[in-house]
Amino acid sequence: MSAIESRLRELGITLPTPAVPVANYVPFRRSGNLLIIAGQLCIGPDGTIAEKHKGKLGANVSVEDAREAAKFCAVNLLAQAKAALGDLDRIGACLRLGGFIASTPDFTGHAQVMNGASDLMVGALGEAGKHARTTIGVPVLPGDVVVEVDAMFEVS
Amino acid sequence: MSAIESRLRELGITLPTPAVPVANYVPFRRSGNLLIIAGQLCIGPDGTIAEKHKGKLGANVSVEDAREAAKFCAVNLLAQAKAALGDLDRIGACLRLGGFIASTPDFTGHAQVMNGASDLMVGALGEAGKHARTTIGVPVLPGDVVVEVDAMFEVS
Amino acid sequence: MSAIESRLRELGITLPTPAVPVANYVPFRRSGNLLIIAGQLCIGPDGTIAEKHKGKLGANVSVEDAREAAKFCAVNLLAQAKAALGDLDRIGACLRLGGFIASTPDFTGHAQVMNGASDLMVGALGEAGKHARTTIGVPVLPGDVVVEVDAMFEVS
């Protein structure tokens, strides 16, 4: 088992089977040392999206639940990275996370929500997990999920 | 004529003259093997944006019309790629598409709309056209267009 | 003083101390010749976000004020680039700006707002500052700021 997967296990996380895109695209593309991963939705460990992870901050979804949703997105990014690389230890750095948080126009705590993804990435990868990030509010996401996160990794 | 342009012709598509940015930026930038293309709006073959491609899903724009708008964005990305490269056959891979779909907060079929762009890219480029993608809902886009798509290509 | 900082001084701009991320991420990551900078908010020269730079276009924020906010975001991107590189003259090109403009669903002048960032980048970097860009409307941004901009640079 890779060092990173051991750390994930200590965090109580087993990587799921990565989601198959529901449309005409692929979950990741590699170019040289760059690995680009498609936007991941907050599919949980049971392979479904919980009702509490659908909707919007400022309306029906709490910050705590949305943080968990963001964490699930990050886990799914790592599951895709493993599918791409075979071994997560080939990740040199998480270069960037893009966080998309569905909210009403008066909610402003998106950074706190996105920390659910950032904390998981740093928890799993350590120094290599420290990433630049861009977090924005959106009115709605595909399938009404509350959080979507995409990523760019440096890999070997 | 390049192999890719022949395939586009079979799809009934002629690459338009690429749009000139309306502001102080450029339509593409290359760095090594990466070609980054600015967000393209759904300008049609006649050089204008149709009224049916302005507004929002969930309000005045149908999924079918928005799919066509997404396809036009993809065609415009390829027109910019040709302007950058001279020959589309120098595209090694479409690494990533970013899809921005203007919708009301209760519309959730953004993935289906974005397939209009993805299907065109895969139709034109074959295996090389299979891309990672991130699709999000937005409240409104510049000029009230219904779809905007940007891209990153690997090129030689 | 670097040539670029001299030009900034002619534009009346002194680079601020770059903002420390308020969450578990880093302001930039470098991979080879790529420098990826996290989304920068419109923090002004005094280190705070002005009330006139909070809210939304189409509601309480004017286009003129939002253009200034976009300019501040660009200045903050350069401040982060300097922190990353030591010397701004190591910037080879601004490859891409991503512009996120908080607006009501009926505002459509996002491109004009984003020019505040683009004009600063080209003013500071000259030819090297000409970038591909993607500008979208969003319902709200972290901390209720009116503009957020992220960037990718080619550096040596």
Considering only CB atoms, A105 lies closest to which of C34, C38, C140, namely C140
Please, which residues have CB within 8 angstroms of residue A86's CB and are 6 or more apart in sequence? none
| Residues of A with Cβ-Cβ distance to B122 under 8 angstroms | 24
Per-residue pLDDT, A30: 98
Strand order in the sheet with A132-138: A28-31, A34-41, A147-155, A91-102, A132-138
Chains that touch A (3 or more CB pairs under 8 A): B, C
Considering only CB atoms, C130 lies closest to which of B26, B138, B141, namely B26
Residue of chain B with shortest Cα separation from A97 = B134
Two structure tokens written together for B79: 């027109």
Per-residue pLDDT, B24: 85
Per-residue pLDDT, C38: 98
| Residues of A with Cβ-Cβ distance to B108 under 8 angstroms | 140-144
B-to-C residue pairs, Cβ atoms closer than 8 angstroms: 94
| Residues of A with Cβ-Cβ distance to B104 under 8 angstroms | 139-140
What are the tens digits of pLDDT across the range B127-140? Answer: 999 999 999 999 99
Please, which residues have CB within 8 angstroms of residue C94's CB and are 6 or more apart in sequence? B29, C121, C125, C128, C129, C130, C131, C151, C152, C153
**pLDDT grade for C20, boundaries at 50, 70 and 90:** confident
Which residues of chain A fall below pLDDT 50?
Answer: none
Instruction: State whether A148 and B130 contact (CB < 8 Å).
Output: no
Report residue B145 CA to chain centroid gap: 13
Instruction: State whether C39 and A136 contact (CB < 8 Å).
Output: yes
CA distance A51 to chain B (A): 15
Residue type at A93? A
Per-residue pLDDT, B35: 98
What are the tens digits of pLDDT across the range B107-124? Answer: 999 999 999 999 999 999
Per-residue pLDDT, A22: 75
- Per CB distance under 8 Å, which residues of A are interface residues toward B? 21-29, 31-32, 34, 36-39, 56, 98, 100, 102, 104-105, 138-144, 148, 150
| Residues of A with Cβ-Cβ distance to C29 under 8 angstroms | 93-96, 130-132
Burial of C2 per CB tally in 10 Å (0-12, 13-18, 19+): middle
Instruction: State whether B132 and A24 contact (CB < 8 Å).
Output: no
| Residues of B with Cβ-Cβ distance to A24 under 8 angstroms | 115, 118-119, 122
What are the tens digits of pLDDT across the range C46-87? Answer: 999 999 999 999 999 999 999 999 999 999 999 999 999 999
Per-residue pLDDT, C21: 82
Superfamily of domain A3-15+31-155 in CATH is: RutC-like (3.30.1330.40)
CATH match for B3-17+35-155 among 3.30.1330.40, 3.40.50.920, 3.40.50.300, 3.40.190.10? 3.30.1330.40
Class of domain C33-155: alpha beta
Average pLDDT over residues B65-76: 98
Is 90 exceeded by the pLDDT of residue B21?
no
Two structure tokens written together for C78: 């350069």
Per-residue pLDDT, B69: 98
**pLDDT grade for B5, boundaries at 50, 70 and 90:** very high
Considering only CB atoms, C139 lies closest to which of A130, A132, A137, namely A137
Average pLDDT over residues B38-48: 96
**pLDDT grade for C91, boundaries at 50, 70 and 90:** very high
Per-residue pLDDT, C13: 95
Per-residue pLDDT, B60: 98
Burial of A48 per CB tally in 10 Å (0-12, 13-18, 19+): exposed
Bridge partners, A57 (sequence order): A61, A103
Two structure tokens written together for C96: 């891409």
What are the tens digits of pLDDT across the range C110-124? Answer: 999 999 999 999 999
CA distance C50 to chain B (A): 24
ipTM: 0.96
Per-residue pLDDT, C22: 75
| Residues of C with Cβ-Cβ distance to B25 under 8 angstroms | 97, 118, 130-133
Is 90 exceeded by the pLDDT of residue B97?
yes
Average per-residue pLDDT for chain B: 96
pTM above 0.95, yes or no: yes
Instruction: State whether B140 and C96 contact (CB < 8 Å).
Output: no
Per-residue pLDDT, A19: 84
Specify whether the CB–CB gap between C83 and C37 falls below 8 A. no
